[in-house]
């Protein structure tokens, strides 16, 4: 065996180790100040899509608003709020699964909307904070997205264009 074949085999083996190690169910996504399981990130993605679904306009999933929520949580919220958010996310996920009798991600938009409308009867610690932060940041991200600012609401300077040659009527 020559050096080139040995190097190629070693790299293939190393690549296989990375692929196999990434196949575990306990994958975590690390941010600067907190970490979430990959399944919780998927849950947040579906929840954001439930808040702003895709209709004739783009929805939350296409705009990646769940990533915006997590980035804002990482950068703009205190460590206490971050811990409460993560705890509230896992508690809300369990509550929704018990209520729907299946995973929140595997239900229809109508069922998910019905669950969100019944949020008033939830009295579980940190769930209210989690939902308030998520809803606030999803809406903020949507309204500040390039798609909304350029395609839906074309930006014009205030006080609008000046047209100097318009005849005044009496």
pLDDT at residue 32, rounded to an integer: 86
Q: Which two tokens stand for residue 61?
A: 């999933």
Q: Given pLDDT bands bounded at 50, 70 and 90, which one contains residue 13? A: confident
- Please report, for the chain, the start and end positions of each structural domain, with discontinuous segments joined by +: 25-151
Element (H, E) at 112: helix 109-117
pLDDT (average), residues 105-120? 90
- Report cis status (omega within 30 of 0) of the bond before 159: yes
Dihedral angle computed from the Cα positions of residues 75, 136, 107 and 53, in that order, rounded to the nearest 10 degrees: -110
pLDDT digits (tens, 9 = 90+) for 42-97: 999 999 999 999 999 999 999 999 999 999 999 999 999 999 999 999 999 999 99
**Which tens digit of pLDDT belongs to each residue from 113-142?**
999 998 877 788 889 999 999 999 999 999
Sign, CA torsion 122/128/130/134: positive
What is the pLDDT confidence band of residue 25, given thresholds at 50, 70 and 90? low
Question: What average pLDDT is seen over the chain?
Answer: 87
Burial, 125: exposed, middle or buried (Cβ in 10 Å; 0-12, 13-18, 19+)? exposed
């Amino acid at each position: 065996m020559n050096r080139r074949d040995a190097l190629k085999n070693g790299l293939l083996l190393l690549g296989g180790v990375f692929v196999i190690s990434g196949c575990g169910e306990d994958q975590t996504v690390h941010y600067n100040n907190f970490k979430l399981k990959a399944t919780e990130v998927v849950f947040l993605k579906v929840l954001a899509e439930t808040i702003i679904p895709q209709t004739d306009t783009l929805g939350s999933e296409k705009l990646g608003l769940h990533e915006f929520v997590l980035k804002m949580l990482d950068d703009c919220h205190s460590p206490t709020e971050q811990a409460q958010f993560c705890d509230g996310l896992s508690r809300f996920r369990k509550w929704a699964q018990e209520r729907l009798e299946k995973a929140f991600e595997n239900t229809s938009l109508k069922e998910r909307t019905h669950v969100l409308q019944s949020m008033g009867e939830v009295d579980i610690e940190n769930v209210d904070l989690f939902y308030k932060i998520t809803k606030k940041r999803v809406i903020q991200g949507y309204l500040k997205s390039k798609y909304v600012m350029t395609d839906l609401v074309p930006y014009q300077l205030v006080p609008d264009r000046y047209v100097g040659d318009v005849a005044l009527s009496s």
